[in-house]
Structure 1
Amino acid sequence: MENNKTLYTSFTKLALKVAMSKGITLKKAKEIVIQKFELHPFEKMIVGLIDSKKLIRKDVDSLLKDCISVCEDFGPDRDYVTLIIVLERIDKIKATKKGTDTISARILLTFKNQIDNINTKIDAPPLFNALLETRSAIEWVTMFGIYPFIPKHKASKNKPVLLMPPYLGNDVSTTFVRNYLKSVGFKTYKWELGVNMINSKYLPKLIEKLDEIFEKHQEKVSLVGWSGGGIFAKIIANRYPDKVEQLITIGSPVWGVKNMKTPLVRMLEFLRGKTLRARNDKFIHELEEIPNVPVTCIYTKTDGLLPWKHCMEAETLRSDIKNIEVFGSHCGMGANASVLLTVANSLNKNITGKEPKGIITKVESLFFPKFWEQKGVSKFTNLFFN
């Protein structure tokens, strides 16, 4: 929260000054900026920061420079897109003073360009992580023994879920995830398009399949995509939010793909015979957009194939966007008990609005990094006593 406070202190100064550049008073600017942060996860903190602001003496360019400097210090982050959206909303306000519209437009463009530059500096996974990918063989083999003991929280019966496999994978890759979702009450569907080569030609067939499932159930369909499958799932969710219940990605690059540094991209370029930059621009642009449906992104910081920051969506944009970290390799995510639990629980929570409860769910938290990030022994006593 300290990091967020530093960033938002700097940004709210900039946002207020940009709003004031439209010719409005500080009081009115405060009202407008607070309104633009409505439903933001840090709304209370931001309102407090804005209310405490006095007349800002610095000019708008100096404040922009200060804010960019803070972003550079914190490094690449998908959540900066939330700040861009706030500036876009302020830019749309009608100016009360002639000749002031260009100021907000210029600040917005400069801020976007600077953030784009910062976000290109995400490093490729370290060699150590790549070497750790060999453990995926152990994860797949041991899952056969672990699978019967994974807790099963019953979900809403027969809710449709369409699953999409990873790059170079097929429907066999999603076997454990599909079987687990079936066992807790979901109706699962394969993608049935053979090996996933991440080609935009799959989209028309996937959209047809979505339509078929939608018509059959007469209700929205949840999409689950692992790695490259999550790319297709996100684009479809962006195009057809009226037919998509929610989106869940598993180790999927959901933004910044054009500049992503990974050996996987080199393999993809070799097999396709062209660079990633030369691919379908529309396809890549659609991937940057955030669908208007609940989103859950599952990622692992020990991913050896993809930079994990590319696998997280902007949690600060809406309360129905969640990033959940798990332990494990990229190639083993389809046979990871934590992934299976997260997919099923997220699907059910987003449909029913309820989280699973009971002692078993508390014990399950032991298998997630979020539990171990807590300090002190109280994290263990809190499992059983609140």
Structure 2
Amino acid sequence: MENNKTLYTSFTKLALKVAMSKGLTLLKAKDIVIRKFELHPFEEMIIGLIDDNKLIKKEINTLLNECISVCEDFGPDRDYVTLIIVLDRINKVKPAKKGSNEIANQVLITFKEKIEEINTRIESPPLFNVLLETRSVVEWVSMFGIYPFIPKHKASKNRPVLLMPPYLGNDLSTTFVRNYLRSVGFKTYKWELGVNMINSKSLPKLIEKLDEIFEKHQEKVSLVGWSGGGIFAKIIANRHPDKVEQLITIGSPVWGVKNMKTPVVRSLEFLRGRKLKERNDKFIKELEEIPDVPVTCIYTKTDGLLPWKHCMEAETLRKDIKNIEVFGSHCGMGANASVLLTVANSLNTNITGKKPEGIITKVESLFFPEFWEQKGISKFTNLFFS
């Protein structure tokens, strides 16, 4: 929260100045900024910052440079897109005076360009993570023994879920995830398109499948995509939010793909027969958009194939966007007990609005990085006592 407070204090000053540059009074500017942050996870903190009159004493260019400097210090982050969206919303507010929109436009353009530049600096996974990918063999083999003991929180909804495999994977890749989801009460569907080559030509067939499942159940369909499958799932969720219940990605690059650095880039180019830079621009542009459905992104910081920051969505944009870290390799995420639990629990929580409860759920938290990031012995006592 301290990092967020530093960033949002700087940004709030800038946002107020941008609103005032459109000829608005301080009072009106505050009202506009607060409304543009409506439903934001840090809304309460931002309102508190806006109440501080000291925030708006500096010139707009100084505030812009200070905010960009804070972003550069924190480094690449998908959450900066939230700031761009808020500035864009303020920019669209009708100016109080004619010709007073130029400053707001220029601030938005400059801020967006700088953020895009900062976000190209995400490094390729380190060699150590690449070598750790060999553990995926152990993860897949051991899952056969572990699977029967994974807790099952019954959903009993028979809600439809369409699963999409990773790049170079097929429906066999999602076997454990599909079996687990069925065991807790979901109706699962394969993608049935053979090996996933992340070809945009697969989209029409996937959309046809979505339509068929939607018509059959007469209710929205949840999409679950692993790695390259998550790319398709996100684009479909963007195109058809009226038919998609929610989106869950597993180690999927959900933004910044055009400049993404990966150690397997040469092998991917060899298999595709052309440079990765020569991508479908429309496809990439759609991937950058954030769908208007609940989003859960599962990622691992020890991913050896993809930079993990590319696998996280802008959690600060809305309260229904979640990033959940797990332990494990990229290639082993389809046979990872934490992934199976997260997918099932997220699906059920987003549908029912209720999180799983009970001692089993608390014990499950031991297998997630979030638990071990807590400080002090209290993290253990809190397992059993509120």
In the superposition, the TM-score normalised over structure 1's length comes to 0.99
Match of 1:371 in 2: 371
Aligned residues: 386
| Contact 1:168 1:196 (C-alpha < 8 Å) held by counterparts | yes
Output aligned runs, 1:124-135, within 5 Å.
124-135=124-135
The superposition leaves residues 217-250 of structure 1 with CA deviations (integer Å, 9 ceiling, x where unpaired) of 1100000000000000000000000000000000
The superposition leaves residues 293-315 of structure 1 with CA deviations (integer Å, 9 ceiling, x where unpaired) of 00000000000000000000000
| Contact 1:156 1:348 (C-alpha < 8 Å) held by counterparts | no
CA distance in 1, matches of 2:266, 2:224: 25
Confirm whether residue 256 of structure 1 aligns to residue 259 of structure 2.
Answer: no
Which letter maps to 2:217? H
Match of 1:163 in 2: 163
CA distance in 2, matches of 1:322, 1:242: 20
Offset of residue 274 of structure 1: 1.7
Offset of residue 59 of structure 1: 1.4
Output aligned runs, 1:1-386, within 5 Å.
1-54=1-54, 56-386=56-386
Which letter maps to 1:11? F
Offset of residue 265 of structure 1: 3.0
Which letter maps to 1:139? E
SS of the aligned residue for 1:255 comes to coil
| Contact 1:26 1:55 (C-alpha < 8 Å) held by counterparts | no
| Contact 1:345 1:356 (C-alpha < 8 Å) held by counterparts | yes
The superposition leaves residues 4-49 of structure 1 with CA deviations (integer Å, 9 ceiling, x where unpaired) of 0110010000000000000111111111111111100001110000
CA distance in 1, matches of 2:264, 2:178: 25
Which letter maps to 1:284? I
In the superposition, the TM-score normalised over structure 2's length comes to 0.99
| Contact 2:238 2:292 (C-alpha < 8 Å) held by counterparts | yes
Cα distance, 1:62–1:155 mapped onto 2, change above 3 Å: same
Cα distance, 1:138–1:38 mapped onto 2, change above 3 Å: same
CA distance in 2, matches of 1:245, 1:54: 44
Which letter maps to 1:91? N
Identity %: 85
CA distance in 1, matches of 2:258, 2:52: 40
Cα distance, 1:376–1:168 mapped onto 2, change above 3 Å: same
| Contact 1:11 1:67 (C-alpha < 8 Å) held by counterparts | yes
CA distance in 1, matches of 2:327, 2:151: 18
Structure 2 unmatched runs, 5+: none
| Contact 2:13 2:55 (C-alpha < 8 Å) held by counterparts | no
Offset of residue 56 of structure 1: 2.4
| Contact 1:13 1:53 (C-alpha < 8 Å) held by counterparts | no
CA distance in 2, matches of 1:266, 1:180: 35
SS of the aligned residue for 1:319 comes to coil
| Contact 2:79 2:315 (C-alpha < 8 Å) held by counterparts | yes
CA distance in 1, matches of 2:72, 2:41: 22
Offset of residue 263 of structure 1: 2.0
Q: Root-mean-square deviation (CA), in Å? A: 0.8
Which letter maps to 1:103? I
Offset of residue 99 of structure 1: 2.0
Structure 1 unmatched runs, 5+: none
The superposition leaves residues 148-184 of structure 1 with CA deviations (integer Å, 9 ceiling, x where unpaired) of 0000000032100000000010000000000000000
